[in-house]
Structures are given as structure tokens and as C-alpha cells.
Structure 1
Amino acid sequence: MRELTYYVATSLDGFIAAPDGTWSAFLDEGDHMDVLVDEFADTLPGHVQSALGIRSSGMLFDTVIMGWTTYSAALDVGIVSPYPHLRQFVASRHRQTVSPDVTVTADPVATVRELREEDGAGIWLAGGGALAGDLVDRIDRLVLKINPVVLGDGVRLFAGARYVDRPFERTRLRAFDSGVVIAEYTRRAGVGS
């Protein structure tokens, strides 16, 4: 079964974006960037891969699912297919497909359930917080890029998730001189699906 991985930048106080949805407070340079480019190239948008002269392998992820607000950040700069190297799904109950390369789903839980049954590499949950809240019980792995900043308000890591104890085990922790910490967790066996 394929894994659903929530790979996302977050503040120290658990926000993945500012109240206006931007993430400019997060560091985009520093010694942590080599790890992001080398190990998580599948998560780089196509135009960024082109600018860096790299091509992702598709070994880590071959599918991405994101909320409409996350997707609209690409649309706002004229990019209708931000991850052309991945199968792209956008969760929205009201929006229509903008590109033939992007599938809009009104039921992300059912979509993830179906995707997990297929053969292939991992499924990357790119955000946002509301979608992560909807999918929290389906997440197998967390990769948190914890930035050394406190936002105080904004888009929560798991917006709208109901209270339930959901234990994860830390599998890897890396701290960088930039102040960024990459913390990786897997869901404890027998918890969620």
C-alpha cells in the first residue's frame, strides 16, 4: 500500500502559512536547502526544477494532492500545472478543473483511499492545513520542515482536525545551522489508516 506523506514547512507554533496564505516567513536559503533539493526533489515545482537544472526521479513521490488555496498560489503566477512530473489532484468542492494535467476532487478522503490501493511511489500531501485536517487519519508519515519563526496566527498545520490522540514515532531528526529542523515521523502501527 502506498504511503501518504504530509511534507510541509511549519513555524515553531504550528502554522504552515501566514493569515493571508503566504509563506515568505519560511527560509528559502541556508544549509537545509541541499537536503530539500537532493532528497525531496519530487516536491519541487516544475519551473524550479528547470531553473536548478535538475529532474526529479519520482522514486519518493509520483502523486501530489493539495487544497485549492495551495494550488491557487501557482495559478496566481500563471502556472496551471505546478508539478508536471507528478499526478496532480486538487481538493475542492466548488472549483472546476483548470488544466487537463490536474484532477479536481470533491472527496479527497475517497481519492486518497483509492490512490493508496494503486501501485506506485508515495503520495505527497502538499497542504493546506484544512486538507491536512480532513486527511489526518490517513497520513502515514510526517516530514516537517520546522522554521525558526513564531507566526502567532495563520493557517494551522492541521486546521479543523477534531481532537483525537494520534501517536506518531520520530524516525529522523536533522538540525541545520540555518535554524531549520527537519523532523520525520511515522504513524504508530495499528493507529489510523
Structure 2
Amino acid sequence: MRELTYFVAVSVDGFIAGPAGQFDQFLVEGDHAGEIWAKYRGTAPTALAAAAGLPVEGGPFDTVLMGWNTFAVGLPELPDPYQHLRQIVFTHEHQAPEGAAGVDFTDRDPVEVVRELKAEAGAGIWLCGGGALAAVLADEIDRLSLKVNPVLLGDGVRLFGDRPYDPAALRPLAVSAYQSGVVLAEYVRH
């Protein structure tokens, strides 16, 4: 069965973006970048990876899930951001923008969609954001991989949105600390 991995950059205080969706405080260069890319190859938009000379084939995922706000970060320049992956955007309010032919927009229940995806053959499923979608899918997440950045944001989009108090134990897999200050913390569900 396929696994759902929530792989995302996060601040030390638990935000994946600022109040206006900004994420420019997260480090994209440094000694962590190459090693994390090697492990999570294919987790950059196709055009950006090509411009940086980064291969996207052979990564752990063949499907990427995101909410509208995460998807909209790349608009209008990247309406089909992860062309090398199957792309699913969850939205109740928005229609597909021009140029997004390779993206599936759905207002279906995310839990139902993820359960169907897990039953299919294929590689891993990547939840790249956002916090509200992660809150809905919390019980379906098999792996949590956090690129913890050495910054406090103070406000913004929480890692798991407004998820109510409901403790769920995770088992640590690995923690890798880098000179850049980034820490890759990886967990699996018990």
C-alpha cells in the first residue's frame, strides 16, 4: 500500500508560511540542500528544478497533493508546477486557471481521495501543503518529514492548521542537523 508523506518546510515555531503566505525566510541554499534533494528528489516545481540543473526522475513520490493556497503560490508563472508528478489540488471555490491542464482540481473529500490513492499501485504520495489540508488528512499521514528552519515567524499558516487537540503518537525515524541551521526531522505513525 502506498504511503502519504507530509514533507514540508516549517519554522521552529510551527508555521509553514507567514500570515500572507510568505515563505521567503526558509533556507533554500546551504549544506542541507543537496542531501535533502537526494532523499526527496522531485519535490521542486519541474521548471525550477530544470533551471537549477536538478533531476526530478527517480524520487520517492509520483503524486503530489496540495490545497489551493499552496498551488496559487506559483501563479501565474507556474500553473502546472509539478509536471513530472500527478498533481491534485483540493478546492471548493476555485476553477483551474489557464495553463493548468496537468493538474486535477477537486472538491471531493480529501480523506476519501487519499484512501483511493493509497489503494492504487505506484510510488509515494506527497502532501506538500497547506496546513488546513494537513489538518483534514492528519489521520491519513503515514510519514512526517519536516525541514525545520532556524527562524521564528510568530504568526501565519500552522503546520496542521487549526487541528483540534487530539494527540497522535509518532515514532522518530531520523534527525539530521546541518550547519545551515536546518534540521530534517522524520517520523512515522506508530
Please indicate, yes or no, whether the TM-score normalized by the shorter chain is above 0.5: yes
Instruction: Measure how far apart 1:58 and its partner are.
Output: 4.0
Gap runs ≥5 in structure 1: 189-193
> Which residue is 2:132 aligned to?
130
**Which residue is equivalent to 1:17?**
17
Find 1:171's aligned residue among 170, 173, 181.
Answer: 173
In structure 1, distance between residues paired with 2:21 and 2:188: 27
Post-superposition offset of 1:179? 0.5
Aligned to 2:144: 142
| RMSD, matched Cα | 1.1
Residues 41-120 of structure 1 mapped to structure 2, 5 A cutoff: 41-76=41-76, 78-98=77-97, 99-106=100-107, 107-120=109-122
SS of the residue corresponding to residue 145 of structure 2 reads strand
Cα deviations across residues 123-164 of structure 1 (Å, max 9, x unaligned)?
A: 000001111011111000000000011111110000021211
Q: Distance in 2 between the 1:176 and 1:22 partners?
A: 23
| 1:182 counterpart residue number | 184
The answer to whether the 8 A contact 2:143-2:188 is kept is yes
TM-score (norm 2): 0.95
Measure, in 1, the Cα distance between the counterparts of 2:185 and 2:174.
6
How many residues were matched structurally?
Answer: 187
Q: Which amino acid aligns with 1:101?
A: G
Q: Distance in 2 between matches of 1:97 and 1:24?
A: 26
Q: Measure, in 1, the Cα distance between the counterparts of 2:177 and 2:53.
A: 27
Runs of 4 or more, structure 1, over 6 Å off, are none
AA at the equivalent of 2:94: R
Paired residues of 1:58 and 1:121 also in contact (CA < 8 A):
no
Deviations 1:93-131 (A, max 9, x none): 111223221011212111111111100000000001111
Structure 2: runs of 5+ lacking an equivalent: none
Which letter maps to 1:66? M
Per-residue Cα deviation, 1:38-92 (whole angstroms, up to 9, x for no partner): 221211110122112232224400000000000001114x211100000000010
CA contact (8 A) 1:8 1:144 kept: yes
Aligned mates of 1:19, 1:12 — CA distance in 2: 16
- For residues 62 and 5 of structure 1, the distance between their equivalents in structure 2, rounded to whole angstroms, comes to 12
* In structure 2, distance between residues paired with 1:151 and 1:49: 27
1:145-164 superposed matches below 5 A: 145-164=147-166
% identity of equivalent residues: 51
Distance (whole Å) between structure 2 residues aligned to residue 39 and residue 135 of structure 1: 23
Of 132-141 and 158-167, the range deviating more from structure 2 = 158-167
CA contact (8 A) 1:145 1:182 kept: yes
